[in-house]
Amino acid sequence: MIASGTNTSKGFKVSQREGNQIRTNDEDKDHDTDVTIEVRDKVGHLAARASNTFGQFDDQTSSGPYQLEILNRVDSAALEGGNVLIRVDPKGDDTWRFNFIVELHMDDGSVLTASADGLEVNESTERQQVFGIV
Identify the pLDDT of residue 20: 55
Query: What is the rounded distance in angstroms from the CA atom of residue 85 to the CA atom of residue 87?
Result: 7
Q: pTM of the entire structure?
A: 0.83
Query: Does 18 score more than 60 pLDDT?
Result: no
Query: What is the rounded distance in angstroms from the CA atom of residue 80 to the CA atom of residue 78?
Result: 6
Comparing CA positions, the residue from 87, 6, 80, 100 lying closest to residue 40 is 80
Residues 6+ apart with CB under 8 A from 3: 14, 39, 48, 50, 66, 67, 68, 70, 102, 104
User: What ranges do the domains of the chain cover?
Assistant: 22-132
Query: Does 21 score more than 60 pLDDT?
Result: yes
Q: Topology of 22-132 in CATH?
A: Lipoxygenase-1 (2.60.60)
